[in-house]
Amino acid sequence: MRRFRNVKIVATLGPASNDYAMIRKLHEAGADVFRLNMSHGSHDEIRERHAMIRQVESDLDNPIGILADLQGPKLRVGVFANDEEMLENGATFRLDLDPAPGDVTRVCLPHPEIFAALEVGAGLLVNDGKIRLRVTDCGAEFAECEVINGGMISNRKGVNVPDVVLPLAALSEKDRKDLEFVCQLGVDWLALSFVQRPEDVWEARQLANGRAAILSKIEKPAAVKAFDEILEVSDGVMVARGDLGVELPVQNVPPIQKRLIRKCRKAAKPVIVATQMLESMIESPMPTRAEVSDVANAIYEGADAIMLSAESAAGDFPVEAVKTMDDIAIEVESDETYRDVIDASRSADRKTVADGIVAAAREIAETTHIKAICCFTQSGTTAALVARERPRVPIIAMTPLRDTARRLALTWGTDCVVIKEPVDRFKQAVVNSARAARMGGYAGEDDQILVTAGVPFNVTGTTNILRVAPCAEHLIYATDPE
């Protein structure tokens, strides 16, 4: 199923998209990857959704990526005797470990690790930042706070602690159970919440043990500060602008988004921009102009993927939301300004033979009449390197491994073809590439393609060949007697 855009679309499944017919409609409308939110739904429900995605994949013979998003530790206050209280600006409010129901002066915060990390002057955010507190005194079991921005506080509202690195693992006990469950199920990507340091990623990687790629969600100020180290040990990144916009001043988020996208592109690792992209389409069949501009901005920046959350999981117009993203992407990518921005932001940091091969492939494709770049890849690395160059022509990723094809569903510009027969000679690779280009409508008999591969075949990290090849099969045999 050929897409006429390069950026990928991630759609979250939920109550509004919980059957085979709807999942198929979402994929046909443009969803390349489906997100399973482990914060909602039982294991049985997740298993059913996974099975339906794989059935759609089989019926349409098109690789589909599945991303399991782990919940991460949730920090919440306890309950109130009256269920809710109004906190006034300037008032004193105490957080402590006492499980007794709270009132207008105090409430339980059952997280001693927070008190262990707090310092006087630190800020606390409650209910998505609507209430702001500042610590005036603290100890091992309490924090006395001044109410900076008041408001209604109620049972089990979430707490954010932006000013300190909390001594919390990114994986809760629930997350460990969920991780093992979805790895056995066969998901392609694991999204790791609450990442603060590279050690958080290593823990998830060891538990996954190669069964899924690890995608770090950047939603904490500490993760932004340690981003280079986190990126190095991650397979991909999600710019989770929801919590990031709560814990940082909102005006800081756009430049952070731009900076993180460029670093991910330079590292040839996929990056998703997420949260509130088409929020109004939860209830409206049309987005706001500001939302369209937001989606377009992420595409102009060169993000690998853009994500829908509640819009496709619980909204009234899930298919329309996916189609809207698809329409925006096609329009933006056809704009010459888009190419100007993408070309200007391309990294020139090339150190390996593979880097040189893929850079040469882009240069040749853009200065001749090449119709597509076909790359043979075992692990997906070659395709990711080609995608890093952001070429103007389509990328056809040829792989014998369906798992690799599914993971590449998240990578910019890659259309994946699973090879049913093993390839051990370069001429076979060229023939298969020409067939895929013709069958996919990328090129005709009279056109040329570029083929990249590594010899010996089926060995990771050996990209070392680049060839301009005809699409007509008889010409391949005529020019290559091997």
Question: Structural domain boundaries of the chain?
Answer: 8-72+169-335, 84-160, 353-479
Strand pairing of 33-37 and 8-12?
parallel
pLDDT < 50 stretches in the chain: 481
| pLDDT at position 170 | 85
- Other C-beta atoms closer than 10 Å to the C-beta of 337 total 9
- Three-class SS of residue 105? coil
Tokens of 334: 């056809």
Phi, psi of 387 (to 5 degrees): -65, -35
* Pair of tokens at residue 420: 């049913």
pLDDT at 185: 97
Candidates 132, 217, 269, 407; catalytic one: 217
Does the domain at 8-72+169-335 match CATH 3.20.20.60? Answer given as yes
217 is catalytic: yes
Q: What number of helices (H) and strands (E) belong to the chain?
A: 18, 21
Q: pLDDT, tens digit, for every residue of 265-301? A: 999 999 999 999 999 999 999 999 999 999 999 999 9
pLDDT at 479: 65
Please identify which of the residues 5, 8, 24, 35 carries the catalytic annotation: 35
Q: Which CATH architecture has domain 84-160?
A: Beta Barrel (2.40)
Using CA atoms, how far apart are residues 22 and 27, in angstroms rounded to an integer?
A: 9
Q: 353-479, which class in CATH? A: alpha beta
The pLDDT tens digits of the residues spanning 165-211 come to 888 888 999 999 999 999 999 999 999 999 999 999 999 999 999 99
Q: Residues with Cβ < 8 Å from 451, sequence gap 6 or more?
A: 374, 375, 376, 426, 429, 430, 433, 465, 466, 467, 469
Sign of CA dihedral 379, 208, 214, 49: positive
Q: How far, in Å, CA of 454 to CA of 259, rounded?
A: 32
Query: In the 8-state DSSP scheme, what is residue 270?
Result: -
Amino acid found at 325: M
194 within 8 A of 168, measured Cβ to Cβ: yes
The catalytic residue among 220, 258, 275, 452 is: 275
Q: Which residues have CB under 8 Å from 84's CB, separation 6+?
A: 152, 153, 154, 155
The pLDDT value recorded for residue 32 is 98
What's the one-letter identity of residue 425?
R
What contacts 300, CB < 8 A, 6 or more positions away? 332, 337, 338, 341, 342
pTM of the predicted structure, to 2 decimals: 0.93
- Tokens (6 digits) for 67: 């991303």
Going by C-beta distance under 8 Å and a sequence separation of 6 or more, which residues neighbour residue 167?
113, 116, 117
In this prediction, residue 481 carries a pLDDT of 47
Active-site residue, 460 included: no
Q: How far is the C-alpha of 85 from the C-alpha of 353, rounded, in Å?
A: 64
DSSP 8-state class, residue 193: P
- Our answer to whether residue 324 is catalytic in this structure is no
Active-site annotation holder among 3, 47, 74, 76: 76
Distance CA 190, CA 204 (A): 9
Structure confidence at residue 478 (pLDDT): 65
| Helix, strand or coil, per DSSP, at residue 395 | strand
- Do residues 437 and 459 make contact, with C-beta atoms less than 8 angstroms apart? no
For the stretch 214-234, pLDDT in tens is 999 999 999 999 999 999 999
